[in-house]
Structure 1
């Protein structure tokens, strides 16, 4: 029944957005239609991810979900870079980091914890990811911020390029470590117990095809949605920073949000955590560096320099996440704690 509703939403909403962009419907209408359509498309991406997870395992399934989900944000960010909206791009990257760690993981822990008193996930993966999070956000984002104080624009860009290349290399090495050299080495007893023999809703080929089509549709819809932000922001009093950190980040990662919460509700915490943390690592160690390099081909280059509130928000999110996930267990109260931190930051960015 729910899947049928999402199907109807997509088949009505998407054509209306296409027609509305041609006939110039009011921005508020396009905004509402786009949000509903992205939610509908996210359900298809969630079902496709679940099918792939059953076939290829939680790590690769979570990685695929993060990759397809982040492709949307990458596309939106490239269009924004082309338009010279450097601040919005950096703000959306900040929003993705705090959104995945606090909102997505918080919702996953909270919703899953309401159904199950105690949920387990791979503690070794959690600790491995904690080290990468410390590097990606606290080292690679804060160091350029500190060193750039005494540099001119040219040296700042050079520093950003150097940091970006190192981050991309380490990210590829991390994938090789997890998926090749140490695949299955750190499987815990709880992780093995959480693996249930199920029949996937869709085969691997069909699931990948649906993921690809849904990603393209989300990318198109998200682009139309972005064009409404200025008018909607003026109407509701949203600043450019708030739009980048909260609105763009939530819209760009809607598919991952839905998938992670769905997995947690089904007690597949390895996948839920892999989606939330894996997406954060991909954004900070791959997407952000790629955008720095891509920006070199546009009139205005983007340095990997965030504002002080953005850096502090990301660092705080990482530290809180590490403290909560390092025991390999979750419950609804830990989810509520992460959500509370996200809402506090949201209020701060709104007022800022």
Structure 2
């Protein structure tokens, strides 16, 4: 059995362990650690199932599946936290997921790939199109904060309205980016298949075999989603107390800690692609994840929060907006040439580390 399959299987042991920790009252620290570790393999299996379904169903529906479910773990944890009333942590996790994808995720990929290959190339069009979309998304997310801070707006109804309008526009923009990438200009995004996809699609299968494979991975997707939701409920139930005990602010917890736990599958995938010299796919994965968070997950959380009676808006901490701007500027500069090496990856990782230190010491 391959190591990449064996490790997630072994880590699944933390699922029953986390349940035992909660039921047998081993303490909040035990529940916090074991549920966090249980989320890691479940996230990997959820992402793997999404990719396998995408291969079986074809490029259009498969691309839509990847676009919607690639960040399912982050969305589930955020929804559970929102239901628990952890609004500050959820708001921070939106910016944290974008920062983590563009700096940590892409930085790890470029650094790992650069250690094996002297220089790696990817299509500049990927960086240009996705960089422009990401810039627009960050500007849209930042505008409500800028309006509120420059006008001394304190009317909660006005803050809610500007956030809802912005969220609606972002969802429309995301729908248009899907139309652009999957239909009208899909030739720009033809970046090839991974080895696993090539082997799956290369073998001739009859219809019953293909249907059995599809049903298998749909089952894995459903089970993983339910399990992630259950473990997220355990994790969120103790995260506020445990992070407070550790001296971590809600800002640091949302921006740094939650994305680190929820996007482990992304780290594994991007580093694996970079080590195979498939930087087109690695860059497409990172930029796709960040766009999904900015244009879909964040707006969905705005609307769901209102429906839950846990109002969440786009009035972010000013430093979060500055950090987002720094992230997009640095990432666009690194990706602009369509080439990368280990030093480029180190630049991105260093930027992420410095921002992490700043968020750790930020009193908010």
TM-score by length of 2: 0.85
CA distance in 2, matches of 1:241, 1:186: 35
Matches within 5 A, 1:18-97: 18-45=19-46, 47-48=48-49, 51=52, 64-65=65-66, 67-97=68-98
- Residue 160 (structure 1) aligns with: 163
1:275 is aligned to 2:285: yes
For the 8 Å contact 2:192–2:281, the answer to whether it is kept is no
- Residue 141 (structure 2) aligns with: 141
TM-superposed CA distance for 1:47, in Å, is 4.5
For the 8 Å contact 2:112–2:342, the answer to whether it is kept is yes
Uncovered stretches (5+) of structure 1, i.e. residues with no partner: none
TM-superposed CA distance for 1:45, in Å, is 4.3
1:287 is aligned to 2:297: yes
CA distance in 2, matches of 1:265, 1:54: 21
CA distance in 2, matches of 1:277, 1:131: 11
Tell me: CA distance 1:79–1:47, structure 2 relative to 1, closer, same or farther (3 Å). closer
TM-superposed CA distance for 1:301, in Å, is 1.8
TM-superposed CA distance for 1:148, in Å, is 2.0
- 1:104-149 CA distances to partner (integer Å, 9 max, x unpaired)? 1111111122122222222212211011111000x20221112224
For the 8 Å contact 1:194–1:267, the answer to whether it is kept is no
Tell me: CA distance 1:220–1:272, structure 2 relative to 1, closer, same or farther (3 Å). farther
2:234 equivalent among 224, 231, 237: 224
TM-superposed CA distance for 1:20, in Å, is 2.3
CA distance in 1, matches of 2:196, 2:7: 28
TM-superposed CA distance for 1:339, in Å, is 0.6
For the 8 Å contact 1:127–1:326, the answer to whether it is kept is yes
1:250 equivalent among 257, 260, 280: 260
Worse overlay, 236-245 or 306-315: 236-245
CA distance in 2, matches of 1:55, 1:146: 45
Worse overlay, 202-211 or 215-224: 202-211
TM-superposed CA distance for 1:49, in Å, is 5.6
CA distance in 2, matches of 1:205, 1:334: 41
CA distance in 2, matches of 1:22, 1:198: 44
CA distance in 2, matches of 1:84, 1:193: 41
- Residue 225 (structure 2) aligns with: 215
Tell me: CA distance 1:64–1:319, structure 2 relative to 1, closer, same or farther (3 Å). farther
TM-superposed CA distance for 1:276, in Å, is 1.4
1:169 equivalent among 169, 172, 177: 172
CA distance in 2, matches of 1:314, 1:42: 25
SS at match of 1:340: helix
CA distance in 1, matches of 2:163, 2:148: 9
Tell me: CA distance 1:45–1:114, structure 2 relative to 1, closer, same or farther (3 Å). farther
Uncovered stretches (5+) of structure 2, i.e. residues with no partner: 202-209
For the 8 Å contact 2:53–2:62, the answer to whether it is kept is yes
CA distance in 1, matches of 2:35, 2:7: 16
